[in-house]
Structure 1
Amino acid sequence: MKPFWTKPRSSPPILPLAFAILLVGGAALAKAPEQKYEPLPAPSVTEQSIEIGGRKLGFKATASAVPVKDARSGEVLAEIATLAFTVEPPKAEAGGGGGAACRPIVFAVNGGPGAGSAWLNLGAIGPWRLPFAGAVPSTPPRLVDNQESWLDFADLVFLDPPGTGYSRLPTNEAARKRFLSVDGDIDMLAVVIRRWTVREHRQACPKYLLGESYGGFRAPKIVRVLQEKENIGMDGLILLSPVLDFSWIHGRNNPLLDASRLPSLVASHTGAKDRAALAEAEAYAQGDYLADLLRGPRDKAALERIVSRLSAMTGLAPEKLRRLGGRVSAEDWTRDSDPSGRTVASFYDGATRGLSPDPRRPPSEWADPVLDALRAPLAEAMEQVVTGRLKWPVGDSKYEILNDKVSESWDWGHGRLGQESLSDLHRVMALDPRIRVLVALGLNDLVTPYFGTCLLLAQSADIGSPERIDLLALAGGHMFYAEDGSRAAFRDAARKMIEGK
């Protein structure tokens, strides 16, 4: 999500940290008696119902927290807020464990870093949905029963890492630095999943992990930690607009990135709704376009071939394309795809436009007409759900929908461009031949272009059956589930995987 486009501040080396729920033993953390951690409320359990396809679906909603403690002192460093929606299966399906023990579970985490789980919850798979189409900050947060909710075939558990949702950041400085890092975040979320599973006696359930955006980067790494350290196996991974390799979406001098972005620019210009309509753009991107880009802009004949073809495919002016050397970045598209300069396109959906605040300023200084327009209504709707429908008394706490401080403080280790999780995906698939993977992408997404992910996955050797990875490219942007048809297609693909059909 938006934090991909911010430059994180540098931070000192991560201090050693031991969690009681992560490691046995370890040095105790330094105390900060002047700062006392404020605990989240006790769990709230309510009975709820929605209508899906004209029939009533009853379910239990549980708002609770999973504590993370210091290994030596037992001090609570942070609590991870979770929202769980569970359905009691018919007794004939309950099996020896009884109750909901045999129903599949989908654990869901968003990205950022710094994004709360409301995006997946109220946008895509939860029991209630906030319509995203056309939303602006003043849009009333009116919820509807989600006809595409995955609750129809799986229980849902939404996780909010520290600093997102209602999960508070640690007051202990060493713990804060550890949580706001690539590896510390992964270890913590893996343990929270294990703790929730054990607490609810759901070890026998089929388990799936859904990650969106940076959450899609997290997911393979979390599953690897669950397999190798936490003694928990997962049945499947569902990656929504994922970042599998940061070097494939960031960089200025690699023509391959421009080629992988081109089909999304064409989709944004033409309104293409499926990959078949983009077959020509994909073929050109990995063929003649890439070949001419490699020749460089000093090859005038190659540049003119690019300019002519791209102008026809994207609608961009030939003089602009010539000046860019035939390489169109996401920033170029958001600023220049409207020749009048009166509107700007979204990074998150290149076909969606908003009014231009100041054509003289760089796009990075604008509020995004998709992502930022949704912040207020989505956060307000989430507050209504948690405090109103679920009756969890969080007081005056604000729901952190996109915490910029988290993203700015994130420790990327040896650098963001060196981070990737494709090798983790390969490792978890090799260790467990039963794991299946669903990768879902939006055609208009300029943050994690769909064709780049397709090309990246194409470089992977088959690990077991080649059908283990299902790739789905859908109409819409980074949050393609804003489109009714795409949301339904995503649900159907997930249901097929989870039910094994």
Structure 2
Amino acid sequence: MFARTLAAVAALSLALPASAADEDKSRAAPEAPEAYVPNSAAKTFTGTFGGRTVRYTATVEEQVLKGEDGAAKAAIVTSAYIAEPRDPSRPVTFLFNGGPGSGSVWLQMGAFGPKRVAIPSDAKDDGGPPYPILDNPDSLLDVTDLVFIDPVGTGFSHTIGDTKGSEYWGVTKDAKSVAQVIRQWLDKNGRWNSPKFLGGESYGTTRSAAVVNELEGEYNDVALNGVILISTVLDFGAGAETEGAELGYVTTLPSMAATALYHGKATAPSVSQFVEDARRFAIGPYASFLLKGQNASAAERAAILPELARFTGLSPDYLERADLRVTSGRFYKELLRDRGLTVGRLDSRYTGTDYDSAGETPDNDPSFYGIDGGYAAAINAWMRDDIGYVTDQRYVTIGNVGPWDWKLAGGRDSNAYLTVAPYLGKAMRENSDLRIFVGQGWYDFATPFFAAEYALSRTGFPQDRIEYKYYDAGHMMYVRDEDRRKLSQDVRAFIRAR
């Protein structure tokens, strides 16, 4: 079964390496730390973005992290797209993906970079190469310079010499290294007084919150104008599917409703209205029923069952056997079992065919294997062939980090219930200009939209500075052409409104 705690945390995860030691060895550069020379490549292009023609320089380069003794320990690769002539008054936006263990390929070649890979927009498999690599008019280069960051163990980034990857693999360790890279990039490029935005997708939203804490949590801070959260996971307790935990059933139900409607297992005038009804049912009668556990009355159970069947598209008999609590993994397998199909986790519009129709959970996620080939080919072709970045390193699209250290600073209680959301609330209270953009797909089970709403509506968040936008796709909503354009327009407006 896809355990939801791990599923949400590793929203784009594949198999981990055999051991951390093996991974450290495979990703370490051969040069001695004291002799290490950073790798880089740059080339100037022209493109039209947001209706405006922009001449820009693409620079792929290693940002070297050093120890207290001055020796090089790791090289984090950034891909920067800077409009020419250079203007320090322009905003600069730092972006990364998630995993943990995912390179920035997805946001870079799918949403905001100057080039994009064209894969099917209608939730179909991307098949085999060649994949068209096109100019991306939806890039944000007309309103902001862009810096994509690949943390250690992702993309072309790697450790140096005897440094172990485990020194960078953890919520706080990773955030410190990314914050250090941002500071170094600002130093080198003279951009300390530029308007600044930070953005991430999936675990990248977790990273965003932790990086904000590193950037703004001390006196020598890097103040931000905005944080862009795409497919958000901040509160891991809210999505945990473990015995005795009930909140995950509440936060997932509206995503089940949207999926049931999409596949014709429910009826409603619109997805927005249906999920709003599902929200009200989930946080009201359903939550009350779940919290009572075995103390819920037979009358309450009888009232909940038909509504749960209506929203999930599952039969009352199945729901009874599941004790009116359906995990996401079971839902993927059961919803379309009568058609011999499963639905995707990252994007439940996608369907797949398993080895057979028995069993409780799918063999794999059709919404991931339906897109991965095109993105891997595109990032390597763009960086190596077009920009001219020469390296023996393998571009890691996803995987290859771990074990991950999930501990947060603050003592035992901070880790008994894992959430990084308070980092953002504190930053907003202490920075009156800091705003948050939240973009969510209706069909995303890796980071359900209702769980994001729950996390950001807790005490301590100025609600008037949080903006929500919703899309008719899943976790990577930009794979759908209409939603890529809408996401671009929404984020562009968010940046302009600073």
Give the TM-score normalised by structure 2: 0.86
Deviations 1:59-89 (A, max 9, x none): 11111110011211x2211100110011126
Find out whether 1:323 has 2:317 as its counterpart: no
Q: Which amino acid aligns with 1:337?
A: L
Q: Which amino acid aligns with 2:179?
A: A
Find out whether 1:254 has 2:245 as its counterpart: yes
Find out whether 1:124 has 2:120 as its counterpart: no
Find out whether 1:499 has 2:483 as its counterpart: no
> What's the CA shift for 1:137?
5.0
The one of 102, 107, 113 equivalent to 1:115 is 102
Aligned 1:85-234 pairs, distance under 5 A: 85-88=81-84, 99-132=86-119, 133=121, 134-136=124-126, 138-173=128-163, 175-229=164-218, 230-234=220-224
Q: Which amino acid aligns with 1:401?
A: T
Q: Which amino acid aligns with 1:320?
A: Y
SS in 2 for 1:212: strand
For 1:93, the equivalent position in structure 2 comes to: none
- The answer on whether the counterparts of 2:348 and 2:367 sit within 8 Å (CA) in structure 1 is no
Q: Which amino acid aligns with 1:161?
A: P
> What's the CA shift for 1:54?
6.5
Q: Write the distance in 1 (CA, Å) between the matches of 2:442 and 2:72.
A: 43
Find out whether 1:412 has 2:399 as its counterpart: no
- The answer on whether the counterparts of 2:31 and 2:160 sit within 8 Å (CA) in structure 1 is no
The one of 55, 59, 76 equivalent to 1:58 is 55
- The answer on whether the counterparts of 2:337 and 2:357 sit within 8 Å (CA) in structure 1 is no
Find out whether 1:235 has 2:231 as its counterpart: no
Deviations 1:320-375 (A, max 9, x none): 111111112110111111123622111111222112134456637x3311123322
Aligned 1:219-368 pairs, distance under 5 A: 219-229=208-218, 230-252=220-242, 253-271=244-262, 275-296=272-293, 299-340=297-338, 342-360=340-358, 363=361, 366-368=363-365
Q: Write the distance in 1 (CA, Å) between the matches of 2:71 and 2:461.
A: 46
Q: Which amino acid aligns with 1:209?
A: L
Q: Which amino acid aligns with 1:418?
A: Y
SS in 2 for 1:123: helix
Q: Write the distance in 1 (CA, Å) between the matches of 2:201 and 2:427.
A: 18
- The answer on whether the counterparts of 1:2 and 1:371 sit within 8 Å (CA) in structure 2 is no
For 2:25, the equivalent position in structure 1 comes to: none
Q: Which amino acid aligns with 1:58?
A: R
> What's the CA shift for 1:310?
2.2
SS in 1 for 2:84: coil
> What's the CA shift for 1:223?
1.5
SS in 1 for 2:194: coil
- The answer on whether the counterparts of 2:48 and 2:54 sit within 8 Å (CA) in structure 1 is yes
Q: How has the CA–CA distance of structure 1 residues 353 and 387 changed in structure 2, closer, same or farther, with 3 Å as cutoff?
A: same
- The answer on whether the counterparts of 1:41 and 1:394 sit within 8 Å (CA) in structure 2 is no
Percent sequence identity over aligned pairs:
28
Q: Write the distance in 2 (CA, Å) between the matches of 1:146 and 1:245.
A: 33
> What's the CA shift for 1:169?
3.5
The one of 1, 6, 10 equivalent to 1:3 is 10
For 2:420, the equivalent position in structure 1 comes to: 421
For 1:387, the equivalent position in structure 2 comes to: 384
Q: How has the CA–CA distance of structure 1 residues 53 and 85 changed in structure 2, closer, same or farther, with 3 Å as cutoff?
A: closer
Deviations 1:2-52 (A, max 9, x none): 83578989999xxxxxxxxxxxxxxxxxxx999856967632111112234
With 483-492 and 123-132 compared, the bigger mean Cα shift is at 483-492
Q: Which amino acid aligns with 1:177?
A: S
For 2:73, the equivalent position in structure 1 comes to: 77
Q: Write the distance in 2 (CA, Å) between the matches of 1:367 and 1:215.
A: 23
Q: Write the distance in 1 (CA, Å) between the matches of 2:272 and 2:416.
A: 28
SS in 2 for 1:409: coil
Q: Write the distance in 1 (CA, Å) between the matches of 2:29 and 2:59.
A: 32
Q: Write the distance in 1 (CA, Å) between the matches of 2:170 and 2:284.
A: 39
- The answer on whether the counterparts of 1:181 and 1:412 sit within 8 Å (CA) in structure 2 is yes
Q: How has the CA–CA distance of structure 1 residues 255 and 471 changed in structure 2, closer, same or farther, with 3 Å as cutoff?
A: same
SS in 2 for 1:241: strand
Deviations 1:384-423 (A, max 9, x none): 010111111124x3210002x31x4212237976331111
SS in 2 for 1:237: strand
> What's the CA shift for 1:116?
0.5
- The answer on whether the counterparts of 2:76 and 2:151 sit within 8 Å (CA) in structure 1 is yes
> What's the CA shift for 1:106?
0.7
User: What count of residue pairs does the alignment treat as equivalent?
Assistant: 465
Q: Write the distance in 2 (CA, Å) between the matches of 1:265 and 1:170.
A: 45
Q: Write the distance in 2 (CA, Å) between the matches of 1:245 and 1:79.
A: 30
Q: How has the CA–CA distance of structure 1 residues 485 and 40 changed in structure 2, closer, same or farther, with 3 Å as cutoff?
A: farther
For 1:19, the equivalent position in structure 2 comes to: none
- The answer on whether the counterparts of 2:232 and 2:449 sit within 8 Å (CA) in structure 1 is no
The one of 41, 45, 52 equivalent to 2:42 is 45
Q: How has the CA–CA distance of structure 1 residues 491 and 33 changed in structure 2, closer, same or farther, with 3 Å as cutoff?
A: closer
> What's the CA shift for 1:114?
0.2
> What's the CA shift for 1:163?
0.8
